[in-house]
Amino acid sequence: MKHLLSLKDLTTEEIFNILEMAKKLKYELQNDIEHKILKGKTLGMIFTKSSTRTRVSFEVGMVQLGGYPLFLSSQDIQLGRGETIEDTAKVLSRYVDGIMIRTYKQSDVEDLAKYGTVPVINGLTDLFHPCQVLADLLTIYESKSKLDGLKLAYVGDGNNIAHSLLYGCSKVGMDIAVATPKGYECNAEVVKTAKEYAKLTGVNITITEDPIEAVKDADVVYTDTWVSMGQEEEKQKRIEIFKHYQVNGELFSMAKEDAIFLHCLPAYRGYEVTSEVIDGPQSLVFDEAENRLHVQKAVMALLL
């Protein structure tokens, strides 16, 4: 593994290696076992899209591993203001041991990896969110003691989370059903590629407009905000279109009795999910948020 640009880049074995390393680092942290395995290393963190969880988890994680996190906002660097991605990648590669970027275009992440000489980690793009889904897989594994043979239902917008879940589930042997409104479907190329992986792992992928069909007998129910950053002007339109995709008690009851609820956060109660579900006993959203720290530490430890 040279970079983490998308879960498409990882083999099933590499995904499980990350999860095993995350479990090890989590255990060591909880038991005050020092693991300064990145002592002397520096991670450049580029943010053209603001974040709570991504910044804090990468920054804290790098410190816990003994390294130094360097925060670079769009105000701190010349990226997009005259300097090319190619030049930025080459310059930063002379200073840091790895780059994490949270931005809009997937092509920016891929160009950083293409032109730089250090590992690049995708902290989020409009197309993919691989670190989040690695945290999701760890959370599911901790809850269910397995991934293979489970069913995950995703309800909502066919966005970067849905895309990464399609890749992640199809590679670890987990069935996935995605329910989105017409016009808000997942990227067709992503679905096609995920189905190719699914043939190799025996996974069933269901793409539907019916949230009940998706959630029926699911082990995991997942949703995300209906209005992502940059879509604020569409808020009222989206609320009207997505109102039948709310994960409420009635929809959640269609899943298995011991199903868990996940959400990448931030969540907007009363919109994509009700308080009854997200604040209920089967919600693991804060364990899931914590696991961002552990899987990202694992990724950095394996890459840097």
Q: State the catalytic residues.
A: 102, 129, 132, 224, 264, 292
> For residue 247, what are its two tokens?
């994960």
By residue count, the chain amounts to: 304
CA distance 132 to 238: 23
For the chain, count helices (H), then strands (E): 12, 9
Kindly calculate the radius of gyration of the chain based on its CA atoms and give it in whole angstroms: 19
C-alpha angle with apex 169: 168 to 170, nearest 5 degrees?
A: 95
Beta-strand ranges (E) seen in the chain are: 42-47, 68-73, 98-102, 120-124, 151-155, 175-179, 205-208, 220-223, 260-263
